[in-house]
Amino acid sequence: MKTFRFIIVNFIFAAVFAVSVFAQAQPAAKIALIDTEAFYDQKVGITKIINAYKSLDTEFKTTTTELENGVKRFQTLQTEIQALQARASDPNNKVPIDQNTARAKVDEAEKLQRDLKFKEEEFKTQLAKREAVILNPINQDIGKVLSEFATQKGYALILDSSKLGQAGVILARDKTADVTDEFIKFYNARPAGSAITTPK
């Protein structure tokens, strides 16, 4: 019985040793990190993404200008209304407040606030639709190029450091694992499809 157990133990030990040796013989899998938020950097990001957002800025310039002007007008009305309220509550004020003028300003401010809220929501919806139309093909292309990049560089796995950082998953890392700049240069250097198109 003892001999049988001894043979089993030796067999298990030999098997574990063989697995250990095999594992040591295999090259370590290379893992890289890429910060996808850097793709949107105006100075060093992915050119196609930057150009896409520039095209969106141009496309919605009229709407954004209208919203900005509306906000400025609303802020002006708020200041004027606050000034009228301060005068009305000042016991030393000898000049009567024109109630019709004050009421008109309040009505205008309330209407403008409602209009701005509606226009802002409408703008967000339209922008999201156009952003999807323009950016989705670029994002799909980036995904394909990431796979090509990983294959060329011998990376078994590439992780998004920005997503992992937000989730609190990364506790420590070697800076050499970050290949964000290298990938952005790799992608921007590709001649095919360098010009951004804006499908309707």
From the DSSP assignment, how many helices (H) and strands (E) are in the chain?
A: 6, 2
Residue 199 lies in a domain: no
Each residue of 16-70: pLDDT tens digit?
444 444 445 445 678 899 999 999 999 999 999 999 999 999 999 999 999 999 9
Residue 144 lies in a domain: yes
**Residue of 25, 33, 45 lying closest to 150 (CA atoms):** 33
Residue 197 lies in a domain: no
For the chain, which ranges sit under pLDDT 70? 1-28, 170-171, 173, 192-200
The structural domain count of the chain equals: 1
Residue 196 lies in a domain: no
pTM beyond 0.75: the answer is no
Residue 102 lies in a domain: yes
Q: C-alpha angle with apex 59: 162 to 144, nearest 5 degrees?
A: 40
Cα 169 from chain centroid (whole Å): 18
Residue 194 lies in a domain: no
Residue numbers of the domain that contains 24 = 2-188
